[in-house]
A and B are shown apart, each in its own frame.
Chain A
Amino acid sequence: MVSKQTKKVFDGMKCNFYTGLTMFRATTQTFPVEVTNTGESYPCAKNENLLRGMVRLGRRGIPVGCINGGCGICKVRILSGEVEVVGPISRAHVSEEEEAEGITLACRVAPRSAVVLTVVGKMAKPFLALAAANGQGRLSTQSKGE
């Protein structure tokens, strides 16, 4: 049974069944993370990076790659809230200047408060994916994203 009050919390966070389960089981504090590009919101534990928190709940919004700071696909700009860097970030993808402006990789920061972020990672499509997407005989080389 879900109490009215709990349901209100769920609705407020756009939670689903799995999110609810993990909320009940959670022994560590969580903070809501909002992805402005899609309007998605999910709770992320303070001891977990923003991307792992999203993936573990089966949620979407931030592009998922290596989750280890190397591929750069989950590049985000933190619009509000506090995050803590929890691992090395590839300088091939985030420069020191960008990092100073609040740009980081979602897989390398954990929340210290409620976080609002926007995805800035480019999703340049490799040729194979394009070919498959375009189907037989038709081919373009457009890149999706910014």
Chain B
Amino acid sequence: MGILRIGHASLRVMDMAAAVRHYENVLGMKKVMEDKHGNVYLKCWDEWDKFSLILTPSDRAGLNHVAYKVEREEDLDELQEKIEAYGISTTMLPEGTLPSTGRMLQFNLPSGHEMRLYAFKECVGTDVGNINPDPWPDDIRGAGAHWLDHCLLMCELNPETGVNKVAENTKFATEVLGFFLTEQVVVGPNGSIQAATWLARSSTPHDIAFVGGPRMGLHHIAFFLDDWHDILKAADVMAKNKVKIDVAPTRHGITRGQTIYFFDPSGNRNETFAGLGYLAQPDRPVVTWTEEHLGSGIFYHTGELVPSFTEVYT
């Protein structure tokens, strides 16, 4: 019941041909369709629903919306009631607003980011099928990402004016959307300010994350890889394709993820994220990172923050 997982992200891109080349040749996604407005839809080989990424032509980069899939149609009605009761207005977009997708419950998180929930998207199957499947298909390209894994949204945080959209989003996501908190960064006097949070609905350490910044925006969308070896191969693929790598292969203390951060041709940050991390469960004690160990939480090996990683986003 309720939210299952991240369903898709809709990103603005400034050069469609370059963007499609990037997501196909570097991430290994496949273009599944293009609509009459020039929006391009792509999926990863191990995903079974029709698409997980929408690229829309624009004069700027950034996130249009992020969508999560719920288990049942009735969940949409129940969640609409709950979200409205919380004081956030919603719109039920009719079936067909997006191709191959059922009705969508549209609303803005307290941070301002547009989120959509849907119960139906056309199931086209993974690239290995579901009858006696091989473990991987023969036509894997680039990093061969399995699936869109999570997103990290930058949320306005300014203690001087009392604005903390990280805390507001976290409260809303846990109380209304049914996410559970897995990890958090606390700063300020007695750790009283919740400056970043990682939340899950599935059994991975995060399906969404919120981090404080001067303005709202998209920090990254992340794609899943199996293990460390796949991360290193992905870095080779990026070098071959002259992709701007923001943070070379390393490990996060937070979530234990093995990672690379890099940019798509419009400057939207991508991550390849490997490893289960740990079994995330609602009753698992929340992991807390304090201000003085923040560097290790983000980049475990060096314990040092990378300026572009914390200061640059779209």
Contact = CB atoms under 8 A, between A and B. Distances in A.
A139 B189 CA distance: 8
A128 B60 contact: no
B266 A88 contact: yes
A70 interface: yes
A68 B265 contact: yes
A90 interface: yes
Closest 7 CB pairs of A and B: A70-B267, A70-B61, A66-B267, A127-B212, A88-B14, A65-B312, A126-B213
A81 B212 CA distance: 39
Contacts, number: 133
Interface residues of A, number: 31
B292 interface: yes
A143 B267 CA distance: 23
A123 B307 CA distance: 10
B151 to A, nearest CB: 16
A66 B264 CA distance: 8
Contacts of B244: 66-68
Please indicate which of the listed interface residues B15, B60, B307 has the most CB atoms of chain A within 10 Å of its own CB.
B60
A139 B212 CA distance: 14
B267 A65 contact: yes
Interface stretch (B36-44, B113-121, B157-165): B157-165
A85 interface: no
Given A124-B214, A135-B292, A71 B187 contact: no
Given A123-B311, A129-B310, A136-B291, A68 B266 contact: yes
A71 B211 CA distance: 17
Given A73-B312, A90-B267, A91-B60, A126 B211 contact: yes
Contacts of A73: 308, 311-312
10 contacts: A65-B312, A71-B61, A71-B313, A87-B15, A127-B187, A127-B211, A127-B212, A129-B305, A131-B294, A137-B291
